Amino acid sequence: MIDRLLKNQRVLMSCGMIGLLIACVDQGNTIHEDTSKESAQKVKVQTLVKTTESWNNTPLPNYHPEHPEMTALRITVPPHTKLPVHRHPVINAGILLSGALTVISEAGDTLQIKTGDVIVEMVNQWHHGENNGDVPAEILVFYSGNVDTPVTILQEPQEAEHPLVAPDANHSGH
């Protein structure tokens, strides 16, 4: 019984701390600790991207309300690798953790990204990525999709290396 009460007290204290942190957010997006301490530290919140368009200025589509599903992938592209042409049927954004990548749209638009850069990908537009560097490129990508919707569809049927990559059954080729 005492263990249960202590556990409930810890949960309430945690919730209280979260509420306190949220209540302390000021307009500068900084959360302040008690300033009476000599070495007061600040938690900083930095907006990396906030947009209604993908990197090639195409408006993002509306979300589909049925059965939402978030997917986060850490993708490593080896040096001197060209990815297959593909598209994403869902809104996604990523941050390049290391290396450099070039993204090329079917229309020929090109985006160069380097470590620390954020990308909001094109939705339902064919494109591919290339790592032309000498080191692996690692990108963390967050997909806001729906259950039973793949996050990536290949233009040409290939052997999928990841279970979320599937050939596009509705595309007849070139």
* Together in a domain, 26 and 84: no
Confidence of residue 70 (pLDDT cuts 50, 70, 90): very high
CA dihedral 73, 135, 154, 142 (to 10 degrees): 20
Task: Enter the DSSP assignment of 91.
Answer: E
Q: Structurally, how many domains does the chain consist of?
A: 2
pLDDT above 50: residue 24: no
Tell me which residue range forms the domain holding 7: 2-44
| CATH code: domain of residue 145 | 2.60.120.10
79, 148: one domain: yes
Does the pLDDT of residue 90 top 70, yes or no?
yes
Same domain, 76 and 143: yes
Closest by CA to 124, choosing from 103, 153, 157, is 153
62 is a domain residue:
no
Based on the fold, state whether residues 77 and 129 are members of the same structural domain: yes
Strand partners, 68: 146
**Under 8 Å between Cβ of 44 and 29:** yes
Whether residue 61 is contained in a domain is answered as no
Q: What is the DSSP letter of 148?
A: T
Whole-number pLDDT of residue 6: 40
Per the confidence metrics, is the pTM higher than 0.85?
no
- 150 pLDDT tier (thresholds 50, 70, 90): very high
Does residue 139 form part of some domain?
yes
Task: Name the pLDDT band for 159 (thresholds 50, 70, 90).
Answer: low
